[in-house]
Structure 1
Amino acid sequence: MSRVLIVGAGPAGMRAAETLARAGLVPIVVDEGARAGGQIYRRPPDGFIRPPKALYGAEAKKAAALHRMFEEMLRAGLITYHPQSSVLGFSGNTAQITGPEGMTAIGFDRLILATGAMDRLAPVPGWQHAGVYSLGAAQIALKAQGVALGRRIVLAGSGPLLTLVAHQLRKAGANVAAVLDTAPLSAQAVGGLRMAMARPLVTARGLAMRAGLGRLYHAGVRLDRIEAGDDGPCAMHWRDARNRSHVTPCDAVALGWHLQAETALTDLAGVAFDWSGTWAQWLPRADAEGRASGGVYLAGDGMGILGADGAEVAGRLAASACLADLGYAIPLRNRGRDMRRLARMRRFAGGVARAFPWPAEMIRNLPDSTVICRCEGITAGELGDTLPLAGAEANRVKSLGRIGMGRCQGRYCQRAGAELIAALAGIAPAQAGRLRAQPPVRPAPISLLCSETDNG
């Protein structure tokens, strides 16, 4: 029997596992979470008092159904599950994994990557201070532990997640001081129309959340700086759409400009990449069903940001493509239905990208003193000083200037760094290239790397 390894147990990974299990395979699922669900349907510890409706809102029934389906498969022995485990890299058709039992090597015949998305961050002067988080981190703390990361919180950035996290925090009783959106209302109107045409109910739900924020929400703003003291942030300095200055007191800031695909493992798996002007990101190359290359399949937001519903569809399609390539019969009616659904999700995603653009101009105008790489403390001015030696190529700038060489391996600074390289060199961001992924893709103790258990 063919061994299929699925990396990620969010909506895409869970649906992929279900599809393979129904065909008689026993997929191996590796996930960094303690329990399956991914970020959007992240599950709290046992005994958590907040009900699913409070955690997932209108998506509570979907979340509960996915969780129940996965647990039933696990109890029935239809899947092999490795929670709290990270894939660090690949050697041929073997994945190196670290988890509660140490280092493990798992062999596979086919690989489905459902690695999901992560925050897309842009630097703001002062963002390097403790007490400045990503929107995703604020959401994780709320869902997993019922904690608001501050007593007076400013949320800033752009995209649906900005509104969603603000809504969730306020619903939980947190004190949100301001919601600052860098996207102008004109762009939101054009993109919002496309979103409404593709998914009217989802768009209406988002607008209702936005309306509930009232005067806390401000569109078309410019973020000047985060003022911080010894205890962390104390104020956000910003300008409104009319260029009027404002200072909002706070003790925590959460930033995020929609989401970006998590692609480090996809790179290590040998998949080719193409520049996406829509998302201002290098995205992996795959066909409509998720086939990439060499027995590798992509599903969910790790291939392109489609949201939880789109991830479920993409997970089924990737698993079906895998089964078809293995010689299994796949119902064409189901494939056609899912392809139509995925096309609609992609139209909606295109509207989101148009409504909430990447803040390229804001990044290009950052003061030289602004920290770009939080891990290494590299400023915009220091990046510029590296260019005469390195040239306008991201990997050489990394080698000589250390931007992207820290713990996050460029996940949070790569796009801003490319934007600054492009501005200084007079080229397009795509011409700066992309940072190559390096194993291990997650920090791992040396002691673990020195010992390995072979499970395949």
Structure 2
Amino acid sequence: MTDPRILIVGAGPAGIRAAETLVAAGLRPVVVDEGARAGGQIYRRPPEGFTRPPEVLYGPEAPKARALHGVFDRLVAEGRVEHLPQSAVLGFSTAGAHVTGPQGSRVIAHDQLILATGATDRLAPVPGWQAPGVYSLGATQIALKAQGVALGQRVVLMGSGPLLTLVAYQMLGAGAVVEAVLDTAPLSAQIAALPAMFARPALALRGLSMRARLGRRYHAGVTLHEIETDVRGPVAVRWSSASGRGKRSLCDTVGMGWHLRAETQLAGLAGAEFDHSEIWAQWLPRTDRLGRLRPGVYLAGDGLRILGADGAEVAGRLAAAACLADMGRPAPEIAADLARLARLERFAQGLARAFPWPAAMVRSLPDTAVVCRCEGVTAGTLRATVDHGGADANRVKSLGRIGMGRCQGRFCQLAAAELIAAHAGTDPAQVGRLRDQAPVRPVLAGALARSGGSG
């Protein structure tokens, strides 16, 4: 009998730990990842020959980054993992996973599938956000980690969540001029959530220490009004303080983001059902405790539960354990990981309550504000589409093109659902979720034409 073929999508913390667990059981998984080098977003690696050490790139997380990178590199060097870098899974068929990469397109047949697709920035539209020079917090961080570049000369960072503080701290460490850090989360909500966040006291204290480093640049409970722009991009951000006082921060670059949004398109194509999470204000896949969607398909990491890098490592091991058990092979003991998972979830729920999605801000967007940057759909057009076709997300997409652009709704879907719900007098859970469609990533026709065969 030949060993089953196991495909892992994603080489971040979840995918790496899943691969390690399967290799320990005597299997040789195939790992497909969009990055040139393994590590995922949180431990993104610079190109070969880059001279900045991990301590500079990852700060206190450098030992974890080194460990994960070392584990995966060793498995690949020993031939115990087949690694396909700079490659993306576009969808699935009965033949397998359709993958495109440097060698063209190919279909990878597999018996078991582990999706460790991670998360992307969760964005809320602000008037002016469609201008050049407005980036997500994740993109700002990628420039720092991958190329050692601080985008812009005078930067305003805005949004909410731990990534806002982390990116500001990292940019200051890189020598950037950070004019203001504008957090829409009220300070009262952050204080109220501290007991839950002290489920991980060391991490909570580290976050508070980073926040203190920001000093008077940091402002909580703000109201964002507009990113003022000219032909070159941002020139200032208009906002109001928690007390209602109008402010204007000069800048030439804006970074924005409201925590994370689970990357779930491939899970949807693999047959996942979704529940709307009131805590996270987004749709999340439904699985069992180990990440089992069904025997043969498993989810792990932030694409399933938004628990951060440590949680992703735990989830990767659990998904691999479920995979092994379903194949009738010896699986590692999971009790300790399940207990740790519960603690990580308490912490994550505290974060979600401390840094809530700015629903009221989104619902009050003026009609002229752009909601979908790819297609240029405004809030007014979206509201008019609801009047014409009803308050169903997919109906609004069909009639008004929201979510039809390059990002396939990754940046605009959550805000669009909020606006649809507000205009129709319902809630986002009733609006529904955009259907997943292949290809889940933009792909060049030439790449599809260059067939690398099946494997």
TM tier, smaller: over 0.9
Please list the CA deviations of residues 15-61 of structure 1 after superposition, one character each: whole Å capped at 9, or x if unmatched.
00000001000000000000000000000011212110011111101
Shift of 1:190: 1.3
Amino acid at match of 2:183: D
> How many angstroms does 1:104 deviate by?
1.0
Task: Specify the code of the residue in structure 2 equivalent to 1:408.
Answer: C
Question: Are the equivalent residues in 1 in contact too, given 2:35–2:85 (CA < 8 A)?
Answer: yes
One-letter amino acid matched to 2:356? P
Paired residue for 1:292?
A: 293
Asked if 1:358 is matched to 2:357, the reply is yes
Which residue identity lines up with residue 364 of structure 1 in the other structure? R
2:99 to 70, 87, 97: 97
Deviation at 1:453, TM superposition (A): 2.6
TM-score, normalised by the number of residues in structure 1: 0.98
Q: How big is the alpha-carbon RMSD for the aligned residues of Structure 1 and Structure 2?
A: 0.8
Structure 2 counterpart of 1:390, which letter? G
Contact 2:25 2:330 in 1 (8 A): no
Shift in Å at residue 294 of structure 1?
A: 4.8
Please give the secondary structure, in 1, of the residue aligned with 2:423: helix
Q: Report SS of the residue matched to 1:297.
A: strand
Deviates more, 1:397-406 or 1:442-451: 442-451
In the alignment, is the contact (CA less than 8 A) between 1:398 and 1:404 conserved in 2?
Answer: yes
Q: Specify the alignment match of 1:45 in structure 2.
A: 47
Q: TM-score scaled to structure 2, two decimals?
A: 0.99
Amino acid across the alignment from 1:403: I
Is the 1:93–1:109 contact (alpha carbons within 8 Å) kept by the matching residues of 2? no
How far residue 451 of structure 1 moved from its aligned partner, in angstroms, is: 4.1
CA deviations over 1:55-103 (Å, ceiling 9, x no partner): 1111101100110111111111000000000000000250000100000
SS of 1:436's equivalent in the other structure is coil
Unpaired stretches in structure 1, ≥5 consecutive residues: none
Q: Distance in 1 between matches of 2:70 and 2:452?
A: 31
1:214 Cα offset (Å): 0.3
| AA in 2 matched with 1:168 | Q
Structure 2 letter corresponding to 1:34: A
Aligned with 1:253: secondary structure?
Answer: strand
1:373 matched to 2:372? The reply is: yes
SS of alignment partner, residue 292 of structure 1: strand
Q: What aligned pairs does 1:133-144 form with structure 2 within 5 A after superposition?
A: 133-144=135-146
- For the 8 Å contact 2:385–2:400, the answer to whether it is kept is yes
Question: For residues 364 and 15 of structure 1, what CA distance do their matches in structure 2 show?
Answer: 40
What is the aligned length? Answer: 453
Q: What is the CA–CA distance in structure 2 between the aligned matches of 1:93 and 1:23, rounded to whole Å?
A: 26
Match of 1:130, SS state, is coil
Aligned AA (1:249)? L
- Superimposed CA distance per residue, residues 148-194 of structure 1 (whole angstroms, 9 cap, x where no aligned partner): 11000000000000000000000011111100000001110112221
Could you report, residue by residue, the CA deviation over 1:243-286 in whole angstroms, capped at 9, with x for unpaired residues?
10011000000000000110001001111111111111110011
Q: Deviations over 1:103-141 (max 9, x none)?
A: 011000010000001000000000000000000000000
Query: Which ranges of 4 or more aligned residues in structure 1 deviate by more than 3 Å?
Result: none
- Cα distance in structure 2, aligned partners of 1:395 and 1:247: 38
Whether contact under 8 Å (2:104, 2:449) holds in the other structure is no
For the Cα contact (< 8 Å) 2:295–2:326, is it kept in 1?
Answer: no
Determine the C-alpha separation between the residues in 1 that align with 2:16 and 2:24.
12
How far off is 1:293 after superposition? 2.1
Partner of 1:111: 113
Q: Secondary structure at the match of 1:39?
A: coil
Contact 1:126 1:228 in 2 (8 A): yes
**In the alignment, which residue of structure 1 is the partner of 2:409?**
410
Identity of aligned residues (%): 65
SS at match of 1:386: helix
